[in-house]
A and B are shown apart, each in its own frame.
Chain A
Amino acid sequence: MGLRAYVVRRCLQLVVTFWAFFTLLFVLFRMMPGDPTSMFIMDGMTPEQREQRIAELGLNEPLHVQYIEYVRQLLTGDFGQSFIYNDPVTSIIVVRFMNTIVLMATALIFAYIIGITFGALMGWWRDSRFERGGIIVTLVARSSPEFWVGIVLLSVFVFWLGWFPSSGMRTTGGELGGGFVARYGSLDFLHHLFLPALTGAIAYLATPTLLMRSTMLDVLNADFIEIKKAEGLPERTVLYKHAARNSILPIVTVAAIATGTAMGGSVVIETVFNWPGMGREMVSAVNNNDYPLAMAAFFLMGSVVIIMNFVADLAYVYLDPRVEYE
């Protein structure tokens, strides 16, 4: 199978995966206990008003009609009305989504810069005390759930040292900037961003570190490294220019997949630090039976995962010419 055929097949698979994913969403959210009107009944809604509300939401239609309507709405980016905020879900979720992306992107960039550097050094100085210590530190970081890392950082840097604010995205009363740079570039924002981003960085550090180390070991065994050393190149040049560069390939694929997984982690990190992102919004939406909002958040997170898996597969065949398409 050629490259083109592989890409076409992978695209088809993407469509099927998406279809399966939003069908799963439909089934899950139709199974939710307590129909969406139950929270209105408490406001003294009469049975007629309730009927009317159900009709408004289209919940009295047969399931297949509801399903078609649901697909149509998703395709047009219409997620309905939030029960709690009484605003269109799309307008709420877009802001939250951006906040989550900024937080998780920062965390992942940190994680991969630190991870790749440490992993490369661990492979280079194999059998050293540095390597053994590094492995233990990485495994400890990997064993800590995100919320636990967050709590430890909170206790040390906020409650004990008092260096950082404990929660939120900006100091209350701080003026909301209009543009992207004003919003995410201010010192106050970066001050708030540091701890949650560090939490994510620690939580996602293990994968690139261990992977970089083991591919480094593979590459260092290769003959061309010996040749480069024999050529009399300085160690540093061999490490950076030849060994590390050739080891970075598998990391690219894993990084794409990690971006997807980080979506799940954002749920926890945002809850710990009260970060106004999509993950925290999803938790409170589920708790408040605000199905449209919860579903939209879940849908966006799943979409990121699916698309990043797709990117990972394509990046892999593009970057490594040795790959055979099965």
Chain B
Amino acid sequence: MSTEQPSPIDSTTTSIGERFASLRQRFEVFEGDRLGQIGLAILALFIFIGIFARPYTIELFDFTISTPGLAPYDPGERAVGDRLESPSVAHPLGTTDMGRDVLSQLIAGTRVTLIVGSLAAFMAVFIGTNVGLISAYFGGWVDDVLMRITDIVYGVPFLPFAIVLVAVLGSSIVNIIVAIVLILWRSTARVIRAQVLSHKQRPYVESAQAIGAGHVRIMYRHILPNVLPLTFLYAAFAVAWAVIAEASLSFLGFGDPNMLSWGEMIYNVYTANAIREAWWWVFPPGICIMLFVMSVFFIGRTLEKEVNPELNHQ
């Protein structure tokens, strides 16, 4: 581990200007790293598609701004007579067994992936970081209790748990996110705890204690900024696992029936028994899932270099 390296934001008195400089520095990691750049580009493309998937109408006082949606059709709209049609000019990726446009479903599904990925990862990392921080900082019985809870969560199989929880609470995107978050925070908690344990011993924490800073201040103002890079790394991994988990759940038929996701599209192909002939319907969502997760892993690898330079990725 690189715990002996002085972090660029070790000092607590960084001005806003310095903050921006350090932010720019973070992006500089991507310079000269082809994989990381590819990852950023793919992710940016998906975010763009996700935001502009459907037409918007925003009314601001007297102005009405409307943007055209990227999806050529309503994803649920049926074109009668065009069932299971292979790709054509009217339907670039063909149609489903219900005569729905595959491309439009694909574009609409991007949004679900983005929502699940970002929300689940944010919540999981938020919980994980806090658990790790509190556990390591206070130590003693607090540490014992929190870490035993983490151990127990490590004993729960991810996907089966998510299936049962979604069956209990009902198939909705919120419940899917809750199920993912309840499991996903565990890895962040362990890693952050280990990192905070080493930071606790450092002189800067001692001097903060000496001048009478409170626990909360030391934890969140002094220690947290130093473990944030690690948090970001785990957030990237969390996005990837959350997206894979959502896709797998939807593929098994536990997806949100009102929000069509990529995994659910493949589930529909399966239940329509069309996997053999309708390659245009199966492959696009699968490739999208793969590309999305891949882009996040590429970005994660670049962040890892920053967090852990000894890994020697060159």
A residues in contact (CB < 8 Å) with B: 13, 16-18, 20-21, 24, 28-29, 31-33, 126-127, 136, 139-140, 142-148, 151-152, 154-155, 159, 214, 217, 260-261, 263-265, 267-268, 271, 279, 282-283, 286-287, 294, 297-298, 301-302, 304-306, 309
Closest to B293 in A: A143
Given contacts A151-B275, A214-B311, A298-B160, contact A31 B251 (CB under 8 A): no
Given contacts A127-B314, A136-B35, A286-B163, contact A151 B252 (CB under 8 A): no
Are B148 and A301 in touch, CB under 8 angstroms? no
Residues of B within 8 A of A143 (CB): 240, 290-291, 293-294, 297
What CA separation (Å) do A305 and B293 show in the bound complex?
A: 25
Q: Which 3 A-B pairs have the closest CB atoms?
A: A264-B159, A143-B293, A143-B294
Minimum CB–CB distance from A271 to chain B (whole Å) comes to: 6
What CA separation (Å) do A147 and B289 show in the bound complex?
A: 11
Residues of A within 8 A of B164 (CB): 28-29, 286, 294, 298
In the complex, the number of residue pairs spanning A and B with C-beta atoms less than 8 Å apart equals 129
Chain A interface main SS type:
helix
Closest to B292 in A: A143
Minimum CB–CB distance from A85 to chain B (whole Å) comes to: 19
Minimum CB–CB distance from B188 to chain A (whole Å) comes to: 17
What CA separation (Å) do A287 and B35 show in the bound complex?
A: 41
A-B contact pairs, 25 of them (CB 8 A): A13-B148, A13-B151, A17-B151, A21-B152, A136-B35, A139-B35, A139-B298, A140-B290, A143-B240, A143-B290, A143-B291, A147-B266, A151-B266, A154-B275, A155-B275, A214-B312, A261-B157, A267-B159, A268-B252, A283-B253, A286-B164, A301-B157, A302-B157, A306-B155, A309-B151
Residues of B within 8 A of A297 (CB): 160
Residues of B within 8 A of A18 (CB): 155
Which B119-173 residues have a C-beta within 8 angstroms of A?
148, 151-152, 154-161, 163-165, 167-168, 170
Are B297 and A142 in touch, CB under 8 angstroms? yes
Which B83-110 residues have a C-beta within 8 angstroms of A?
none
Minimum CB–CB distance from A50 to chain B (whole Å) comes to: 22
Given contacts A136-B35, A151-B282, A151-B286, contact A301 B160 (CB under 8 A): yes
What CA separation (Å) do A264 and B180 show in the bound complex?
A: 13
Which of B167, B251, B294 contacts A286, CB < 8 Å? B167
Which of B151, B156, B290, B298 contacts A24, CB < 8 Å? B156
Residues of B within 8 A of A294 (CB): 164
Are B252 and A302 in touch, CB under 8 angstroms? no
What CA separation (Å) do A148 and B287 show in the bound complex?
A: 8
B residues in contact (CB < 8 Å) with A: 35, 148, 151-152, 154-161, 163-165, 167-168, 170, 240, 244, 247-248, 251-253, 263, 266, 275-276, 279, 282, 286, 289-291, 293-294, 297-298, 301, 311-312, 314
Assuming A127-B314, A159-B275, what are 16 further A-B pairs, CB within 8 angstroms? A28-B164, A32-B167, A33-B168, A139-B301, A143-B240, A143-B297, A148-B290, A151-B286, A155-B279, A214-B312, A264-B159, A268-B248, A283-B163, A283-B252, A298-B157, A302-B156
What CA separation (Å) do A326 and B311 show in the bound complex?
A: 25
Residues of A within 8 A of B151 (CB): 13, 17, 309
Residues of B within 8 A of A214 (CB): 311-312
Residues of A within 8 A of B157 (CB): 260-261, 263-264, 298, 301-302, 304-305
What CA separation (Å) do A140 and B163 show in the bound complex?
A: 26
What CA separation (Å) do A142 and B291 show in the bound complex?
A: 11
Are A28 and B168 in touch, CB under 8 angstroms? yes
What CA separation (Å) do A301 and B162 show in the bound complex?
A: 13
Closest to A25 in B: B164
Residues of A within 8 A of B152 (CB): 16-17, 20-21
Are B251 and A268 in touch, CB under 8 angstroms? yes
Closest to B35 in A: A136
Minimum CB–CB distance from B147 to chain A (whole Å) comes to: 10
Which of B155, B279, B289 contacts A21, CB < 8 Å? B155
Residues of B within 8 A of A263 (CB): 157, 160
Closest to A139 in B: B297
Given contacts A143-B294, A271-B252, contact A16 B148 (CB under 8 A): yes
Which of A140, A145, A282, A286 contacts B247, CB < 8 Å? A145
Residues of B within 8 A of A151 (CB): 266, 275, 282, 286
What CA separation (Å) do A72 and B163 show in the bound complex?
A: 26
What CA separation (Å) do A31 and B157 show in the bound complex?
A: 19
Are A155 and B282 in touch, CB under 8 angstroms? yes
Minimum CB–CB distance from A166 to chain B (whole Å) comes to: 9
Are B159 and A302 in touch, CB under 8 angstroms? no
Are A267 and B163 in touch, CB under 8 angstroms? yes
Closest to A302 in B: B157
What CA separation (Å) do A1 and B28 show in the bound complex?
A: 45
Which of A20, A31, A144 contacts B168, CB < 8 Å? A31
What CA separation (Å) do A159 and B276 show in the bound complex?
A: 6
Residues of B within 8 A of A268 (CB): 159, 248, 251-252
Which of B160, B161, B253, B297 contacts A287, CB < 8 Å? B253
Closest to A32 in B: B168
Residues of A within 8 A of B263 (CB): 145, 147
Are B158 and A147 in touch, CB under 8 angstroms? no
Closest to B149 in A: A20
What CA separation (Å) do A305 and B275 show in the bound complex?
A: 33
Residues of B within 8 A of A28 (CB): 164-165, 168
Residues of B within 8 A of A144 (CB): 289-290, 293
Which of B155, B156, B244, B301 contacts A145, CB < 8 Å? B244
Are A267 and B251 in touch, CB under 8 angstroms? no
